Structure 1
Amino acid sequence: MTDYLTTPEGRRIAYDRIDGTGPGVVFLHGLKSDMQGTKAVALADWARRTGRPFLRFDCSGHGVSGGAFEDGTIGQWFEDARAAIRQLTQGPQVLVGSSMGGWLSLLIAREHPELVAGLVTIAGAPDFTEDGYWAALDTAQRAQMVRQGYIDFPSDYGAPYRISHALIEDGRERLVLRAPLSLPFPSRFLQGSADTVVSVATALRLFDHATGSDIRLSVVKGADHRFSEPADIALICNTIEEILARIAPRIG
């Protein structure tokens, strides 16, 4: 059942929450995705089966939340995620971030480690505004983006994505691969070798950059960016369960 919360910044955010026992799990979706995606729905089913608290939500401008996608920024979506976690969960959570949601989960981990018990990124896309969209533009296209305020990028998932200059500029204030990134809790990075959106090199860069005593990277041969085949979903669920088992002695 979809409910709504209003963030401290005044944005209306849709969410679905499942009650349970023990440390909770929070799913953070990707760019132009939402809480009705395959992975989010599969994890909701997993939570019901296992009796775990689970939260999924739509960032502003996504799904059935308020706002327009074109007006959003990484900073706003980070605020949405922070508000949802603070207002709708209790105690440190296991964050599961897909693509852009991986970046958001890393931001939460860096800025508010007290909210995080463990971390799973799925095709995590840290700093994609700078290293993906901005890096793909030539000098003339960059000038065009500054002049008109946006560029339409082709997408493998349908209509082009309208990427605003404000999104690029705000992203520069939220980069996580250019400054120390401590992950002092179990952290797992899942990546597909056939991902054409986020490269294995990005996953390796994150793995090399982050510091922590319990960090692992798993590369699945043949998996693509969606990471939604039955075997992929099973790996995600097993990874979450592994983290829950590791944190149980110190939280439970």
Structure 2
Amino acid sequence: MIFLPGFKSDMTGTKATALRDWCLRRGRAFTRFDYSGHGQSEGNFEDGTVGRWASDAIAVLDQVTQGPQILVGSSMGGWMALLVARARPARIAALVGIAAAPDFTEDLMWASYGEDVREILRRDGVYYEPSDYGEPYAISMRLIEEARDHLVLRAPLELPFPVRLIQGMRDPDVPWRTALRLAEHVSGDDVEVILVKGGDHRLSEPADIARLEAVLDALPGG
């Protein structure tokens, strides 16, 4: 299993730790990592792009792991998981998205920005977006523009393995209909969407972790 964390998140969170323990109990290999500019990895966050972070994830798959992998992606990690799966479909056994946020730079950021914010980005190259999770996010125009080369919801997604999408309906960051849109784009039939009516974006409470573990246990070979 590989855990792919979210935007400006890292590999030390509750979900990553819970997944490590789940794998240990079942004698499975578990890999977690930080993208460049995140957590313990080198680099500046502001220099990062979707393509660079996806390349990090693909490199981890290629150089660190062996055999078929379950990809578990949280928020932006869900987008990264889709890009990894698209690049290396033969290596993927299943994909689990937790509040997956594919194409968020275009559909959730750029689309929601007023002309004032867009002008800041064009003029300064960076916009400091307030965050409920700590210091403001430095959103660069380069991030927005480069991400357009990696959008996944503009064409069918060939994912020939089980796909499970867990999404909170009270998620303030990713609208729950994003999970339905993603499910519609997956060409395979083994796709399930689990909507949690009271669920937030993090989905890291004990009940959320128990739900995630049940989803993993129910996967073929789980």
> What's the TM-score, normalizing by structure 2?
0.97
Question: Which of 114, 135, 140 matches 1:138?
Answer: 114
* Secondary structure of residue in 1 paired with 2:194: strand
Provide the C-alpha distance between the structure 1 equivalents of 2:187 and 2:44, rounded to a whole number of angstroms: 36
How many angstroms does 1:104 deviate by? 0.4
How many angstroms does 1:244 deviate by? 4.4
How many pairs were matched up?
222
The residue aligned with 2:175 is 199
Provide the C-alpha distance between the structure 1 equivalents of 2:205 and 2:116, rounded to a whole number of angstroms: 40
Provide the C-alpha distance between the structure 1 equivalents of 2:110 and 2:220, rounded to a whole number of angstroms: 37
* Secondary structure of residue in 2 paired with 1:41: helix
Matched, 1:165 2:141: yes
**Structure 1 residue runs of 4 or more that deviate by more than 4 Å after TM superposition:** none
The residue aligned with 2:101 is 125
Provide the C-alpha distance between the structure 1 equivalents of 2:215 and 2:64, rounded to a whole number of angstroms: 23
Provide the C-alpha distance between the structure 2 equivalents of 1:105 and 1:171, rounded to a whole number of angstroms: 15
How many angstroms does 1:99 deviate by? 0.2
The residue aligned with 1:96 is 72
Provide the C-alpha distance between the structure 1 equivalents of 2:173 and 2:191, rounded to a whole number of angstroms: 23
The residue aligned with 1:237 is 213
Question: Which of 48, 58, 75 matches 2:34?
Answer: 58
How many angstroms does 1:111 deviate by? 2.1
Structure 2 counterparts to residues 7-156 of structure 1, below 5 A: 25-156=1-132
More displaced 10-residue stretch of structure 1: 130-139 or 120-129: 130-139
Question: Which of 169, 174, 186 matches 2:162?
Answer: 186
* Secondary structure of residue in 2 paired with 1:117: strand
How many angstroms does 1:175 deviate by? 0.2
Provide the C-alpha distance between the structure 2 equivalents of 1:85 and 1:55, rounded to a whole number of angstroms: 9
The residue aligned with 2:198 is 222
What residue ranges of structure 1 are gaps of 5+ in the alignment? Answer: 1-24, 247-252
How many angstroms does 1:204 deviate by? 1.2
Which amino acid in the other structure matches residue 124 of structure 1? A
* Secondary structure of residue in 2 paired with 1:96: strand
> What's the TM-score, normalizing by structure 1?
0.86
The residue aligned with 1:21 is none
Identity of aligned residues (%): 56
* Secondary structure of residue in 2 paired with 1:46: helix
* Secondary structure of residue in 1 paired with 2:77: helix
What residue ranges of structure 2 are gaps of 5+ in the alignment? Answer: none
How many angstroms does 1:143 deviate by? 2.2
Provide the C-alpha distance between the structure 2 equivalents of 1:202 and 1:196, rounded to a whole number of angstroms: 12
Provide the C-alpha distance between the structure 2 equivalents of 1:184 and 1:125, rounded to a whole number of angstroms: 20
Root-mean-square deviation (Å): 1.1
